[in-house]
Structure 1
Amino acid sequence: MTEQRSTRGLPLEDICVVEIGHSLAAPYAGIILAHLGARVVKIENAAQGDYARGWGPPFIDGASALFHAMNHGKESISADFGDPACARSIRDFIVENADVVLQNLRPGNLDRYGLGAQDLTELCPSLVYCNLGAFGATGPLRNKPGYDPLVQAYSGMMSIVGHADDAPSRVPVSINDMGTGMWAVIGVLAALRDKGRDDPERGRIVDVSLYETALAWMTVPLSDCLAGGPEPTRIGSGSPNIVPYQVFDCTDGAILVAAGNDTLYRRLCNVMDLPSLADDPRFSTNGDRVLNRKVLIPLLEARFAQKPAGDWLNALEAGSIPCGPLQTVDRVVTNEQTASLDILRRTPDGRTTTVALPVSFDGRRPPLPGNTPGLGEHNHLLIRTPAHDRADDLLRQESD
């Protein structure tokens, strides 16, 4: 059985969430809420479970490491929505127990089984029901399915990732899936607070989507475009609005330098022994440097290429210039700063190490909410036995 931790003292310890979700967006919202203390009951397809169970290798005890990362500490019920009795049991469980429902199935899918937002909020007016969609609740693409890379392409995000001559590439983490999960949590928490403040019997229907999340990530490029700025181009690790603000190659590695204002730029020129660049009118202000990026960056690249990364980092840090090494993932895992944050945690059964909540309360980070459930491990939550029926009969007789 899945061992669950105590939620005492956590902000959402009295909240029950039903997650009818798969892949990443809804499960990520669910795991955030679980880390905050909520009880999260995950409803999975009876035939194969959440698709993400197979998204590996690596695998841990038959399920992908990705699935463990997104679903530890939850309870799992396997369901066949096409079975009216099963759908009815899930509906009853939600009405009797849930404060929040998260769902990211295709639009209209759950409506066929009486599990959509309108049906459930009519049965349970205090329910907060959150739809996590692909392209939004309105518009010509409202019923179109979507995955993270598709939305990265459609939102313009993919057009600005990489270097000028690269083939199109995606941000190599599911930034829109996970971002949508975060917006779902923000919306749910706002709805829960609103319900408690104004009317404890009034819930909300919250809608978020991958495309809206992508547009939010694209706030600066879109705003630049709306202001009449130039068409954004691929500039690798650099920023379209700040120069120099990117990775530079050294003799034995690469470092990121973030000279985010004019004072830092002049300090950088001093540390690099390039006084002429500090005084050059083409580079006097950040706006000048952005316009003359193609002139300035090669000059800085040539200078950085003359020394090892460690030498540059020491000199830049001594000059109070923001900088850091370009680390690989394996180095991040063993990094002293990572370790000091105690953010990489093991589940109680020791099977999985993953990232804990990136939030602390009074200096304490919430622990992982528990182990990863097996598919349908908690089906007993929906099963009515003859003993249950006999107990109900006794209660009715006593009340009569």
Structure 2
Amino acid sequence: MGAPPQGGAVSGPAEPDPRRPLDKDPPAMLQGMRVLDLSRVLAGPWAGQLLADYGADVIKVERPDVGDDTRGWGPPWWGPADARMSAYYLSANRGKRSVAIDLATPEGAAMVRQLAAEADVLLENYKVGQLARYGLDAASLMSLNPRLVYCSVTGYGQDGPMAQAAGYDFAIQATGGLMSLTGEAEGTPGTQPQKVGVAVTDLFTGVYASTAILAALVERGRTGRGRHIDAALLDVQVAMLANQASNHLIGGTVPRRMGNAHPNIVPYQVFETADGHIVLAIGNDGQFTRLCELAGHAEVATDPRYARNPQRVAHRAELVPLLADWLRTRTTQAWMDLLEPHAVPCAPILDIAGVFTHPQVLARGLRVDLPSGSAFDHADHPANDHPAMPLVRNPMRVDGQAVVADQAPPALDQQGDAIRAALARGEGWPTR
């Protein structure tokens, strides 16, 4: 199948409709699990959203009046001016209920303890030791509820010389080595180390945290006891160095920025075409042979300098300019049409608009539109005044069905009155 033009939308006789409803009964493998989410910004909320997608009942505890920091990280905004939410906030808080509680007051801390007494999981990303002031630390709450899986997300972990330091994704990408590997090669005019275009360390930490939480819940099924999980952004970033860390530890080298090139595979980078760019991701010798044959240069694949990947890596400086000359002779789409049917890994470079109109993204239903009206009920805005909220669904499918919470991200304190009333009545964890 041909790919859409570089940087644009899919061309065709009819404009595809990106909207896709949720499956009628999405899988809810964590149904009955209760998650108390005290976290804010991205890493912790991302983990909480994943658990909500899998069916957990997630209550998000936020600061009165201001809520999660990301509520103010706009524009763009969603909703009316008096109840608007930032697009950033919406990306990480699907499927949750919101209650505003001041943890620093005795009354607020008591409410959190009530919720924690019946929770299965607690997520928090406060500075090390801060929650102990209010009796909401892991030791205190796990004494109250020995079955609690308590997950602490911090920049640098619960111990070590930087345990008290604030951790932000950008800083961790720098300290954790990722920026030293990202960007054009040193010496290229006008360049510098680059961060990745999304907060990947935060996101990976959220994913790592959720897998650790699920593992702890499985173990709790055998032992009846919870765990305290220490999830540090720096630890995750170092783990994410993957093959580059191994290149250093095994090879004794210090990996450097290489632009879009790969340290261990050639050709594996971006090339110019007659009208733009294309990615080649040649992962084995057979693919390289097919590339050469299709380009009309079969003899290059048998050249001893290029026949095997280790030789191609050794002779990168001679091979890459040769390939660059070939790639400039055709358009991106012409190369896609030539290479893709013959299993030569390649891809156009799409902008985000192009991504959401790509036929495979449409077929997989990665955009989901959730009803949003109830989020503004407290502001006296009729529900039918608000169109469905466009979000990106959880990428997992189970038995062919999309896994995603069916509730839009909540407005600040949207369910607060009902939750506080249930706690005041001594009813424990409030039902949805």
TM-score (norm 2): 0.85
Q: Please show how residues 210-229 of structure 1 align to structure 2 within 5 Å.
A: 210-229=233-252
Cα RMSD (Å) of the superposition? 2.1
List gaps (5 residues or longer) in structure 1. Answer: 393-400
Instruction: Select 1:26's aligned residue among 9, 33, 44.
Output: 44
Q: Which residue of 2 aligns with 1:87?
A: 109
**Which of 372, 382, 406 matches 1:369?**
406
2:377 counterpart of 1:353: no
2:94 aligned residue: 72
Of the three residues 291, 314, 317, the one matched with 2:337 is 314
TM-aligned CA distance change 1:8 to 1:65, over 3 Å: closer
Query: Deviating runs (4+, > 4 A) in structure 1?
Result: 5-9, 384-387
CA distance in 2, matches of 1:14, 1:38: 6
In structure 2, relative to structure 1, the CA distance for the partners of 1:279 and 1:375 (3 Å cut) is same
- 1:143 is matched with 164
What residue number does 1:395 align with?
none
TM-fit CA distance, 1:15: 0.3
Shift of 1:216: 1.5
- Identity within the alignment, %: 36
Residue correspondence of structure 1 range 151-166 to structure 2 within 5 A: 151-164=172-185, 165=188, 166=191
Q: How does 1:27-46 map to 2 (within 5 A)?
A: 27-46=45-64
Superposed CA offset, 1:347-397 (max 9, x none)? 1234421111111111001243302211112223553599938x99xxxxx
2:202 to 174, 177, 181: 177
Q: Is the Cα contact below 8 Å between 1:34 and 1:369 reproduced in 2?
A: no
Amino acid at match of 1:286: N
One-letter amino acid of the counterpart of residue 143, structure 2: E
Q: Is the Cα contact below 8 Å between 1:346 and 1:353 reproduced in 2?
A: yes
In 2, Cα distance between equivalents of 1:384 and 1:161: 51
Given that 2:36 and 2:122 are in contact with CA atoms closer than 8 Å, whether structure 1 keeps it comes out as yes
2:269 alignment partner, SS class: strand
Amino acid at match of 1:134: G
The 10-residue stretch of structure 1 (74-83 or 275-284) with the greater mean CA deviation from structure 2: 275-284
Q: Which amino acid aligns with 2:258?
A: I
Q: What's the secondary structure of 1:369's corresponding residue?
A: coil
Name the CA distance, whole Å, in 1 between partners of 2:111 and 2:24: 27
Q: Secondary structure at the match of 1:227?
A: helix
Larger relative contact order, structure 1 or 2 (CA cutoff 8 Å, min sep 6)? 2
Q: Is the 8 A contact 1:135 1:212 kept in 2?
A: yes
Contact kept, 8 Å, 1:262 with 1:286, in 2: the verdict is yes
Displacement of 1:235: 1.7
Counterpart in 1 of 2:223?
199
- Corresponding residue number in structure 2 for 1:342: 365
Match of residue 118 from structure 1: 139
How far has the Cα of 1:6 moved from its partner? 9.6
Cα deviation for residue 47 of structure 1 reads 3.7
Q: Distance in 2 between matches of 1:296 and 1:229?
A: 25
Match of 1:232 among 255, 260, 269: 255
Per-residue CA deviations over 1:122-168 (Å, capped at 9, x if unaligned) read: 11001000011111222211221111110000011101101112212
Aligned equivalents of 1:364, 1:6: Cα separation in 2: 9
Inter-partner Cα distance in structure 2 for 1:240 and 1:55: 37
Q: C-alpha separation between the residues in 1 aligned to 2:72 and 2:313? A: 45
| Alpha-carbon distance between aligned partners in 1 of 2:209 and 2:168, rounded to the nearest angstrom | 17
Deviations along 1:212-251, one digit per CA (max 9) or x if unpaired, are: 1111210211111011243212222221111111111101
- When structure 1 is superposed on structure 2, of 7-16 and 242-251 the one drifting more is 7-16
- Range 161-170 or range 183-192, more displaced: 161-170
**Residues in 2 aligned to 1:366 and 1:226: alpha-carbon distance in whole angstroms:** 38
Number of aligned pairs?
A: 384
Moved more, 35-44 or 70-79: 70-79
Q: Secondary structure at the match of 2:398?
A: coil
- 2:78 is aligned to 60
Q: Secondary structure at the match of 1:281?
A: coil
Greater Cα shift, 185-194 or 306-315: 306-315
